[in-house]
Amino acid sequence: MELGKEQASKLKRFHFLGFFLWSCLAILSHAATRPNVVLIMADDMGYSDLGCYGGEIKTPNLDRLAKNGIRYTQAYNTSKCWTTRISLLTGLYHHRSDRGFSDTALIGEILKPAGYRTWWSGKHHASFNPHERGFDHFSGFLGGAINFWNPADKAREGEDVPGWKVVYTWAFDKKLVKPYLPPKYFFATDAFTDWGLEWLDEKESADDPFFLYLAYNAPHWPLHAHPEDIAKYEGFYDSGYEAIRKARYRRQLATGLFDEEVTPLSEPEHKVWSTLSPKERKEEALRMQIHAAMVDRMDQNVGRLIVKLSETGKLEDTLIIFLVDNGSSHERPRRGGKNAEAAWGSVGSFEAIGQSWANATNSPFKKWKVQGLEGGICTPMIAHWPDGIKLPKNSISREPCHLIDFVPTFMELAGERSRYSGNLPGLDGISITPTFAGKKLEREKPLFFQYGSWQVLRKDSWKLVQRKSDPWQLYDLSRDRTETRNLASKFPERVLQMKTRWEEWAKEVGLKVKPQKGKKK
């Protein structure tokens, strides 16, 4: 009998997990030596939003993790929400799977049979329930964007109708709910943390290590925030896009994140503030004010988590990693059913920051979400693990790493160093644990990227990038992190070699290679 695609996919995972469980039995007795893991992902946040990455937003808790850990300057995502989540959770380039994460094993399916308690709270940009894919607990929504105050399609008593009324299924372990109408004082960022903290209090198997994935939806549109958080940033953004971008860049230089000679500030790609009307400037400043409040509230919740880990004596032996799914969002959607009279940031409102603020918040890079230049694919990343990081505090790692490297890292820390087996594809990434001791990563293959109209290959310090079928651009990131000098005409042989390698990879994962524009010889 011929199996359907979904049945075949489940059978492949079953074979892999059976092998994995067998191979992990030998290490379960050493569970106490394996660290807990907390993986925190923000959604559509700018590269320079955090204080420790140059921002003016108040993020003392994430800054504390950076001060006592490692900041990475060349960590990469895929430039888009759902593709990033496939790579993050499977160790594969997203092209090897689909939006159902087919023909893969999720990190929960890998760590659970190895003796880890596995929990996931927040966003899941797919339609299946993670509780059925290796997670002891999942509480969150199966979709891309929500109204932070009320993710249902009707108003609660005494409130406006939600300004964003696209309704997704929510899952609470086995229970599916659609629509999910939460209690009146619900706010998504706070609730996601609440659920994680509840699981940390569970007594069952309390001696086993845990894996907690906190997938925040902040600061993705719609711009929703607590009034008291918005008030903190009154007047902060009245000076406009370029003033904020330059101030962030100066702080990035001052704190050693970048060197001005290697990383000049890219040319602005935003509107000129002085050309806006007084009303437009006021509204634009308020957009960024609410964005900042959303990042601030996320940081407050990270602080709640740090306190819990400290109180329970688990902070020292917990690897905490923070990163973002893609560059800051340039989007200004028109799909909201907002109440024009609703206060911005409230349940009835629907706003977004747009391209100009996306450019400013991605300082010092070019571009933004869904773009192949650094502003689209480079993420701020923090690693904090007092018992495991052997570098001095407040270290900076300039080693290029990618989302595909997280599953191999977690497998190594769990004691399992074998790769995928059976009918599942082998892992594309490598472990980043050498960076915890200041060592270089020995990556055998270049890093590949493709999403939408952009394709990218990074080999050592060289980056080849193309939009649609335009001519390929070539940059030496060791001398030009902000991609200001296209060297394609100077090194045509290197362009050809890297282009050929990208096409070979594209063929391997089933992508169609687009024809190259150019003059006929």
For the chain, the structural domain boundaries read 5-112+213-437, 447-508
User: Tokens representing 92?
Assistant: 């594969």
Task: Give pLDDT tens digits for 131-157.
Answer: 999 999 999 999 999 999 999 999 999
Asked whether the predicted pLDDT for residue 364 surpasses 60, the reply is: yes
Omega cis (within 30) before 162: no
What's the fold here for domain 447-508? Arylsulfatase, C-terminal domain (3.30.1120)
307, HSE (Cβ side, Cα atoms, 13 Å): 10
Cis peptide before 380, with omega less than 30 degrees from 0?
A: no
Name residue, tokens 């009146």. 184
Task: Please give the Cα distance from 471 to 518 (Å, whole number).
Answer: 7
Q: What is the mean pLDDT of residues 187-206?
A: 96
Six-digit token pair at 444?
Answer: 């055998």
3 state SS of 66: helix
Round to whole Å and give the CA distance between 43 and 53.
Answer: 16
List all residues 6 or more positions away from 271 whose beta carbon is below 8 Å from its beta carbon.
241, 356
- Which of 42, 64, 51 minimizes the C-alpha distance to 122? 42
**Side-chain half-sphere of 251: how many Cα atoms within 13 Å?**
16
State the residue for tokens 């907002």.
338
Return d(Cα 402, Cα 78) in angstroms, integer: 9
Using DSSP, state whether 512 is helix, strand or coil: coil
Closest CA to 156 of 190, 180, 173, 132: 180
What are the tokens at 463? 């980056």
Q: What pLDDT is stored for residue 4 in this prediction?
A: 47
Which of 190, 184, 153, 183 is closest to 168 using CA atoms?
A: 153
How far, in Å, CA of 238 to CA of 299, rounded? 23
Query: Band of the pLDDT at 520, cuts 50, 70, 90?
Result: very low
38 or 519, which is more confident?
38
What distance in Å separates the CA atoms of residue 469 and residue 196, rounded to the nearest whole number?
45
How large is the average pLDDT for residues 252-263? 97
Mean pLDDT over 510-515 rounds to: 73
* Alpha-carbon distance values, 231 to 122, 226, 291, 323, 445 (Å): 26, 9, 12, 26, 48
Angstrom distance (rounded) from CA 208 to CA 198: 16
pTM: 0.93
Please answer whether residues 12 and 422 qualify as being in contact, where contact means their C-beta atoms are separated by less than 8 angstroms. Answer: yes
And the tokens for 454? 């952009």
φ/ψ bin of 510: left (φ > 0), alpha (ψ from -120 to 50), beta (otherwise): left
- By three-state DSSP, how is residue 381 classified? strand
Answer whether CATH 3.30.360.10 is correct for domain 5-112+213-437. no
Q: Examine the pLDDT at 413 and tell me if it is beyond 60.
A: yes
Q: Which residues, at least 6 apart from 155, have a Cβ–Cβ distance to it below 8 Å?
A: 161, 162, 347
- Rounded to an integer, the average pLDDT of 252-280 is 97
Contact yes or no for 324/42 (Cβ under 8 A): yes
Segment 347-374 mean pLDDT:
97
